[in-house]
Structure 1
Amino acid sequence: MHKERETLVVEQDRKKVAQLPIHSIGHIFCFGNVLVSPFLMGFCGENNVNLAFFTENGRYLGRLQGRQSGNVLLRRAQYKVSEQNPVPIARNIIAAKIQASKRVLQRQIRNHGENADLQSAITALNYSLRQLEIVHNLDLIRGIEGDAASRYAITALNYSLRQLEIVHNLDLIRGIEGDAASRYAITALNYSLRQLEIVHNLDLIRGIEGDAASRYFGVFSHLIKANSGFHFDGHNRRPPRDGVNALLSLLYSIVGKDISGALQGVGLDPQIGFLHADRPGRDSLAQDILEEFRAWWADRMVLSLINRGQIKPGDFVTEAGGAVMLKPEARKLLFQTLQAKKQEKITHPFLGEEVEIGLLPYIQAMLLARHLRGDLAEYPPFLMR
């Protein structure tokens, strides 16, 4: 691939096979031994076109991106919320993910009849959602509890002051002072105990999400046609060890890169998230937003490709280390299907406007930025009704 004026040119065997204006491109995904000219790399950077590199069989290697965009005030707001108050955003994202997972299972029941295992999983997901409903903002809990504790402590201290007004004995004064300190300490300890009883923090949310995901993938095999030739024994990754997981991993990676680019486009830092912990080389915020799209977008697309017979067990190769990867021709089909999916239109559940599916990462990034700026009281995660 190389640059020609304001376009990207793709050549194969010294023959031009494609030429696209740079402004029409959002991301470029390179699989295998793809040569990219330095001039094109710089051109992509100047035009905010991200280059992502994968092995021939779909394992992600790295990316090249241009200059960071966005104003510093938005990023400072992002960092502050990430450090001080991440729970509400994390809770909303996971609630949307669990709802979407539940609806995938309900759709299977509507189309193919009752299934005891699926119904049991749906019941478990409903329980996870009820758990999330009581996961309140930790700062809000502290504020309410702290205010109540302060009121109690002030009342006790005022009583001690009134006693001091009528005493003249130093030992008695010391006794009153000690009693006031004890009242305050007991109130503080009781507050700490109540905090322990309602440990509403990120670890709890992650635990709820993990339980829900385990239930969901525990019945995922019921969504795959028995005559498809595919077998699914549970979710695995790094590396994926079967065809279903290989498809899921590749789609998660591709959609995740779209989300990362969208976050940068609105001025957010894709590496600083609210649910996923910071880790070198990981776009934690992109992984956060990806949770909203896993079931509704990626999982349903994988099920469609398999159940319609578009991708078959023979379309995969097993590498020496046990990783299962998609063959080039099948990967091309997956990309074509994904691009067609991106062009489909839906009514956005929050905006109420008709939008292309491919724009959803950018819309969610915009809504998150609006929340962080204070324009929206809460972040509205993507969840189709």
Structure 2
Amino acid sequence: MKKTYYLFNPGLLERKDNTLKFTPYEEDGNGEMFHPGQPRYLPVEDIAEFYVFGSLQAKSSLFNFLGQKDIALHFFDYYENYTGSFMPRDNLLSGKMLLAQTSAYQNKKKRIEIARKFIEGAAFNMIKNLRYYNIRGKDLDGVIEKIDEYSSQIVHSTAVDELMGIEGNIRQTYYDGFDLIINDFSMEGRSKQPPRNEVNALISFGNMMCYSQCLRAIHQTQLNPTISYLHTPGERRYSLSLDITEIFKPILVDRVIFKLLNKRELQEKHFDHKLNRCLLNPSGKKIFVKAFEERLTETIQHRSLKRKVSYRHLMKLECYKLSKHLLSIEEYKPFKMWW
């Protein structure tokens, strides 16, 4: 199975015959690199994608090589914001699928039906998380009941704006439960740009990781990532990834956050507080990324396929299910945790 590589240090990535060579460097205050470290050689057959968190030097010949080998790069800035991706040429382009996606978006009834599915799946998985901790003495009955009440309104929504309002209420109520689940840290409400405390920093960082994973899964199917149904398609963003990520954030991001904080694998020393914002420091990022990668590679017994699949593969399966729905092959049903 191909691996995801995470580049935290600034450095030079280049092609070396039929492998990749990464040479880490130290970086001065002006962004100049010096004092090269020990290079590492990476066989391209083992690489699925790179996550780049530090400064990276590369030549156009490298990107040509990565494109040939179907290797993606996802870039994050200093503040842990996702800034963009290099994606190999799309070999799965389909005019039929593009027309089907566009037609479903332009049809108000079809669009709202798909959008409802995303919120339905997300709400179900949020409640699953809450019930998991509720039976472990966290007293989340009130939060669960409130989300159930909001969720009952999903089927009656007739406009995407109305549905987004319901989703916002569900999400806010769900986040209210975080302070009951997490032991040593407080969330104190959701803050994004910038995140004001440790829990918000983890949510923002994890959501960006989940978003880019979902983008890669979409790229491996015939779907166009810019045509979405819940989030309005816009300039310079892959809004379909935002749609599908809603389903997987409770499963992939939130579960990792709860585990790392409650087991004290992440502590105060793993965060930097500066300029009214809170960010993971390099050691904290490595701990989170390791746990997130372990979650992605974890497998479950799939009910329909009758075999074990990883959480990473579940995202790709979700894209296939949506594709079948758009082509009128099979009705789309969002992924819901059953354990």
Q: TM-score category by the smaller chain?
A: 0.7 to 0.9
Q: In the TM superposition, what is the alpha-carbon distance from 1:364 to its structure 2 partner?
A: 1.1
Task: Considering fraction of residues, name the structure with more strand.
Answer: 2
Count of residues in correspondence between the two structures = 313
Gaps of 5+ in 1: 136-199
The separation in 2 between residues aligned to 1:353 and 1:86, in whole angstroms, is 32
Alignment of 1:125-204 (within 5 A): 125-135=147-157, 200-204=158-162
1:111 aligns with 2:136: yes
Q: 1:112 to 1:83 in 2, by over 3 A?
A: same
By how many angstroms is 1:300 displaced?
A: 1.0
Ranked by relative contact order (alpha carbons within 8 Å, sequence separation 6 or more), the top structure is: 1
Mapped contact 1:349–1:382 kept (Cα < 8 A): no
Per the normalisation by structure 2, the TM-score is 0.87
**Structure 1 residue aligned with 2:288:** 334
2-structure distance, mates of 1:365, 1:64: 20
Task: State whether residues 11 and 18 of structure 1, in contact with CA within 8 Å, keep that contact through their aligned partners in structure 2.
Answer: yes
Aligned counterparts of 1:16 and 1:370: Cα–Cα separation in 2: 48
Alignment correspondent of 2:313: 359
Other-structure match for 1:5: 17
Shift of 1:237: 0.8
Give matches, 1:65-76, under 5 Å. 65-68=87-90, 69-76=92-99
Alpha-carbon contact 2:160-2:230 (below 8 Å) kept: yes
2:237 is aligned with 1:279: no
2:118–2:246: 8 Å Cα contact kept in structure 1?
yes
- Aligned sequence identity (%): 25
Q: Tell me how far apart the structure 2 counterparts of residues 236 and 27 of structure 1 sit (CA, whole Å).
A: 30
Q: Give the corresponding residue for 2:191.
A: 236
SS at match of 2:104: helix
CA distance in structure 1 between the partners assigned to 2:64 and 2:297 by the alignment: 28
SS of the residue 1:317 aligns to = strand
The residue matched to 2:118 in structure 1 has which SS? helix
Output the CA distance in 2 between the equivalents of 1:220 and 1:239. 19
The question of whether the paired residues in 2 share the 8 Å contact of 1:32 and 1:57 is answered with no
Tell me if structure 2 keeps the 8 A contact 1:349–1:384.
no
1:92 paired to 2:117 = yes
CA gap of 1:127–1:350, structure 2 versus 1, over 3 A, is farther
Give the whole-Å Cα distance in 2 for the aligned partners of 1:220 and 1:101.
11
Aligned to 1:148: none
Q: What amino acid is aligned across from residue 277 of structure 1 in structure 2?
A: T
> What per-residue deviation string (whole Å, max 9, x for no partner) do you get for residues 218-250 of structure 1?
22111101xx2x221011212211111111111
Which residue is equivalent to 1:208?
166
Paired amino acid for 1:86: R
Contact 1:56–1:328 under 8 Å retained in 2: no
Q: Is the 8 A contact 2:252 2:295 kept in 1?
A: no
Displacement after TM superposition at 1:288 (Å) = 0.3
Shift of the 130–27 alpha-carbon distance from structure 1 to 2, 3 Å rule, reads same
**Aligned partners of 1:349 and 1:237: how far apart in 2?**
36
- Is the Cα contact below 8 Å between 2:146 and 2:173 reproduced in 1? yes
Compare the two structures and name the one with the higher helix fraction: 1
**What is the CA-CA distance between 1:352 and the residue it aligns to?**
4.2
Equivalent residue, structure 2, for 1:260: 215
**Cα displacement (A) at 1:21:** 2.8
Provide the rounded CA distance (Å) in 2 between the counterparts of 1:351 and 1:214: 35
Contact 1:50 1:63 in 2 (8 A): yes
- CA distance in 1 between counterparts of 2:291 and 2:21 reads 23
The residue aligned with 1:82 is 105
Structure 1 residue 370 corresponds to structure 2 residue 315: no
User: Partners of 1:247 and 1:275 in 2: how far apart?
Assistant: 24
Q: Is the 8 A contact 2:112 2:229 kept in 1?
A: yes
1:380 aligned onto 2:338? no
The two structures have a TM-score, normalised by structure 1, of: 0.77
Quote the Cα distance in structure 2 between the aligned partners of 1:325 and 1:12: 23
Match of 1:324 in 2: 278
Structure 2 gap segments, 5+ residues each: 1-12, 26-35
- The whole-number CA distance in structure 2 between the counterparts of 1:81 and 1:364 is 17
2:58 alignment partner in structure 1: 36
